[in-house]
Every structure is written in structure tokens, then in C-alpha cells.
Amino acid sequence: MNDLQDKEDVKIFVDSFYGKVKTDPLIGVVFASRIPNDNWQPHLEKMYSFWNTVLFAVQDYRGNPFEKHIPLSIEKKHFDRWISLFVETITENFEGEKADEAKMRATKMGALFQSKLEYLHAQKT
């Protein structure tokens, strides 16, 4: 099995990962509420660019990914499932330093987003 090497590899894991997300009983409904079935390609394109930037330091993504999560009704169990599916997908398709980095970055990102959302929601109450 090969390590992640470029944007083409990013496309492989992003497509596989979101294929799982779409059918997941816990987080699939969250994504479906924000992304109509016929409009997944623009989201996938953003994710290709996002992970290409994160993993390979290519200036390919512009935006604020956290901002998109603020209005969602998501909690720890959603982040845990997202991370689980992400790690599973990388492990099924790649091995090596970049694959390990992708899993680590996704895990840290999930924890950070979860923490920030908990803080924001606590401020509202």
C-alpha cells in the first residue's frame, strides 16, 4: 500500500470517505441537511483543495471551514463518528508518514472544532 503523495491521492480518500458519510446513520443526516444529493460535487471539490492544502502546503483552499460548522446541531458523538470514518478510510487506502499525518490532523481538527462549538454554545446559554 502506498502513502499519500498528491492531490490525486487526496481525491481517492475524500471520495471514499464521503461515500461512507452519505450513508452513515449518525452523521449522514447532518450532511444531507446541508448538501442536497445532487450537489455533492462542489463540496467534494472544496475538500480536495482543503486536504491538499493541509497535507501538502499547496495554496489550494480559501475559506473558513470552522464557520460552516457553527450553525449545525452537532456534538461529541458526531465528531467521534467523523474521526472514526476518516481514520478507517485512510487506513484502508494508504500507509506511511503522510497517511499518519492525515489521521493525526483530522483527529486534532475534530477535537478543536468540537471544543470551539461547545464554547460557543455555552456562551449562548
Percent of the chain residues past pLDDT 90, beyond the cut: 78
Rounded to whole angstroms, the Cα distance separating 59 from 62 reads: 8
DSSP H helices in the chain: 7-23, 28-34, 40-56, 65-69, 76-93, 97-124
The pLDDT tens digits of the residues spanning 81-98 come to 999 999 999 999 999 999
Task: Indicate if the alpha-carbon torsion angle 119, 24, 38, 50 is positive or negative.
Answer: positive
Q: What is the predicted pLDDT for the residue at 2?
A: 97
CB-count burial class (<10 Å; 0-12, 13-18, 19+) for 106: buried
Rg of the chain, C-alpha, whole Å: 14
- pLDDT score of 125 more than 70: no
Say whether pTM exceeds 0.75: yes
Contact between 72 and 34 under an 8 Å Cβ cutoff? The reply is yes
Q: Which CATH number fits domain 7-124: 1.10.3720.10, 1.10.490.10, 1.10.10.10, 2.60.40.1120?
A: 1.10.490.10
